[in-house]
């Protein structure tokens, strides 16, 4: 089944030459937010990024003499139905489509889920349709996987009315069958109330499966990549001349492989980091670990004083850290096929 577009998409190589079909976008998720409670400080944040899992450990401290109750929330990226683009969603049939997990001081927390669906057409202000979808028992996640069975249960007249209202469009699957594709946008967040005891620290861990952008071949490293096409890689991923030379060697190896068993590809991961818990000042001690998985993979991202700490890991550390941009990671994967 076809997965639909997401509003927050990483289109790292969108301006590059079209060398093959199959390009897939990714949603840019981020971290938690803490509601208005300036007294609670983010002492440390430890961020781990990999293709398989994103994990963030937050160490909060309440330096006051009284307990503070606050709302901790994880804003999920918007999902916007769009039949013309393909995007990676780890679990498109579930409300928890990133498989988010939360621990507080090592104990699991079951957060509340808040979801709202909106329809926007022809530049008009978005109109909320949450109650309408729920009255029809249609899942709010606007992907074919989540909604197709529910839409099939509706009468043809009802589906026609929804299509005329701009909520659906009809699409033909590769096997010739028809599907009614949702066109609304989902906004959702997980949240829970948290008590920060006086004078002590609380550790919150959030982890989820990331959405990965990808293309099935290499654009970066190609000999005909002109400066305008190379610029987005340099700006978003800080792809320097040394990385470019390694990518070019990877491209030449693939081009020389007559059997086509060696077929490298590009993947993209984005993390929308914010200042201390969503704007409550700088992060006291920040550590970023990027794990490229395969030791033979090439990886590039923007960071200061980055050092290699293992066969597949690179790290950077900073104090009183105020993020200036999302963390975007480029992976060139030297995949071998039998």
Q: Is 116 inside a domain boundary?
A: no
CA atoms within 13 A on the CB side of 166: 13
Residue scoring higher pLDDT (145 or 274):
145
Residue 144 covered by a domain: no
Phi, psi dihedrals of residue 135, rounded to the nearest 5°: -65, -25
In a domain, 47, yes or no: yes
CATH number reported for the structural domain that contains residue 59 in this entry: 2.60.40.3680
Q: Is 81 a member of any domain? A: yes
**Residue 149 resides in a domain:** no
Residue 269 backbone zone (phi > 0: left; psi -120 to 50: alpha; other: beta): beta
Query: What is the rounded average pLDDT of the residues 244-254?
Result: 93
Across the chain, mean pLDDT equals 85
Into how many domains does the chain fold? Answer: 1
Q: What's the predicted TM-score (pTM) here?
A: 0.85
pLDDT band at residue 152 using 50, 70 and 90 as cut-offs: confident
Mean pLDDT lowest among 208-212, 257-261, 295-299: 257-261
48-105 residue pLDDT tens: 999 999 999 999 999 999 999 999 999 999 988 877 767 788 998 889 999 999 999 9
Identify the domain containing residue 18 by its residue range. Answer: 9-111+192-333
Residues 126 and 214: beta-carbon distance below 8 Å? no
> Is the predicted pLDDT of residue 9 greater than 80, yes or no?
no
């Amino acid at each position: 089944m076809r997965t639909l577009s997401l509003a927050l998409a990483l289109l790292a190589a969108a301006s590059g030459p079209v060398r093959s079909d199959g390009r897939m976008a990714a949603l840019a998720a981020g971290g938690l937010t803490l509601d208005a409670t300036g007294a609670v400080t983010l002492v440390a944040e430890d961020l781990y990024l990999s293709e398989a899992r994103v994990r963030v450990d937050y160490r909060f401290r309440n330096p006051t003499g009284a307990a503070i109750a606050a709302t901790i929330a994880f804003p999920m990226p918007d999902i916007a139905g769009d039949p013309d683009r393909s995007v990676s969603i780890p679990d498109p049939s579930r409300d928890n489509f990133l498989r988010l997990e939360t621990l507080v001081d090592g104990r699991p927390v079951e957060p509340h889920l808040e979801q709202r669906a909106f329809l926007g057409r022809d530049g008009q202000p978005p109109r909320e349709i949450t109650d309408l979808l729920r009255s029809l028992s249609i899942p709010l996640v606007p992907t074919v996987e989540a909604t197709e069975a529910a839409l099939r249960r509706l009468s043809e007249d009802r589906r026609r009315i929804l299509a005329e209202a701009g909520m659906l469009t009809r699409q033909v699957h590769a096997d010739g069958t028809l599907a009614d594709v949702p066109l609304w946008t989902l906004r959702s967040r997980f949240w829970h109330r948290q008590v920060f005891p006086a004078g002590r620290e609380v550790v919150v861990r959030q982890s989820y499966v990331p959405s990965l952008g990808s293309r099935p071949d290499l654009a970066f490293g190609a000999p005909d990549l002109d400066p305008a096409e190379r610029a987005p890689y340099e700006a978003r991923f800080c792809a320097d001349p040394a990385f470019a030379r390694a990518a070019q060697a990877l491209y030449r190896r693939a081009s020389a492989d007559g059997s086509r068993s060696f077929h490298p590809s590009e993947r993209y991961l984005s993390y929308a980091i914010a200042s201390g818990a969503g704007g409550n000042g700088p992060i006291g001690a920040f550590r970023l670990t990027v794990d490229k998985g395969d030791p033979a993979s090439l990886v590039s991202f923007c960071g200061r004083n980055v050092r290699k700490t293992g066969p597949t890991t690179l790290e950077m550390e900073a104090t009183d850290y105020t993020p200036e941009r999302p963390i975007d990671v480029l992976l060139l994967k030297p995949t071998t096929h039998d």
